[in-house]
Amino acid sequence: MAYRTLSQYLSQQEGNLTAELAAVIEQIATTTQIIDQDLQKGALAGVLGSAGHENVQGETQKKLDVISNDHLIEALQSHPNVAGLASEELDEFTPAQNGGQYLVLFDPLDGSSNIDINMCVGTIFSILPAVNSPAQADDFLQAGTQQVAAGYVLYGPSTMLVLTVGAGVVFFTFDPESKTFLLTSEKVAVAADTQEYAINASNQRHWEAPVKRYIDELQAGKTSVRGKDFNMRWVACMVGDIHRILCRSGIFLYPYDLKDPNKAGRLRLMYEANPMSMLIEQAGGASTTGRVRIMEIQPTELHQRVPVVIGSKNEVDLVTQYHH
């Protein structure tokens, strides 16, 4: 069977694609292959363990967090079509060396707590239109609806690139022989109904009443108002959990909780919530904070956090209904 390459797909100019946007996406894909090689070597390359310092989020960085971030900055800062970069791992945005048409935001290594136990991790990216050249800090504060492309690379048993350019969601699988991403699934769709959910149950005592009600009903299964049993899955890597939903439906929740009332949520709007929301909505799913559509939020800061309820539309709508 002949598979189309990433380059061949991008040449079709579907959705928001332009030759310039295609070039940026290809550069991201090429860079993730380098990150994948570092991950494959693991302990052999001395890249496991802590980097010995924290990022802007106050989280202890892994060595591969820093390495992955450096790879992406180096590859994209000099790209002719990139005006600026923003990373979850850096305090401030990084201006590009050229006056390009696009801004790239990324989480270089999502789920990095999984690195040392050889579990799945990923790279998430979001692409926005540039506003000024060179880029300024406020240029990045665009609602998710302004994204022209979003995606992630899942480093798992197979390395996969999942992409949307505003014309649906497609899967590419990396072929280690040809060193190429090959198109393996088109028109990816998330079913409106599901029997799987993902949530960090250790925070249950801190949840708000609507989330407690929803999860209690799922756990009661056939004996409750839902009338069917549900299974819980939790990967501790948003890329892994969202990929499962894109493959076989489901709902993922990282809701607002009262553990730290001063924090609006756990996940980052610009690097995680917006790109994943674009992917899920393009596949027919839904994404909210429990109260409002995530992609309509007007950002006020680069590292803003939000609650996330994302996945199969009927389940997301029900959680939102409970909050209202």
Distance CA 112, CA 116 (A): 8
177 is in an annotated binding site: no
58 is in an annotated binding site: no
88 is in an annotated binding site: yes
For the chain, the three-class secondary structure string (H helix, E strand, C coil) is CCCCEHHHHHCCCCCCCCHHHHHHHHHHHHHHHHHHHHHHHHHHHCCCCEEEEECCCCCEEEHHHHHHHHHHHHHHHCCCCEEEEEECCCCCCEECCCCCCEEEEEEEEECHHHHHHCCCEEEEEEEEECCCCCCCHHHHCCCHHHCCEEEEEEECCCEEEEEECCCCEEEEEEECCCCEEEEEECCCCCCCCCCEEEECHHHHHHECHHHHHHHHHHHHHHHCCCCCCCEECCCCCHHHHHHHHHHHCCEEEECCECCCCCCCCCEEHHHHHHHHHHHHHHCCCEEECCCCEHHHCCCCCCCCEECEEEECHHHHHHHHHHHC
112 is in an annotated binding site: yes
26 is in an annotated binding site: no
Contacts 24+ apart (CB under 8 A), 116-120: 116/48, 116/49, 116/62, 118/42, 119/235, 119/236, 119/237, 120/154, 120/155, 120/156, 120/235, 120/237, 120/239, 120/240
Q: Which residues does the annotation place in the binding site? A: 88, 107, 109-113, 200, 272
Q: Which residues does the annotation place in the binding site for Mg(2+)? A: 88, 107, 109-110, 272
Q: Which residues does the annotation place in the binding site for substrate? A: 110-113, 200
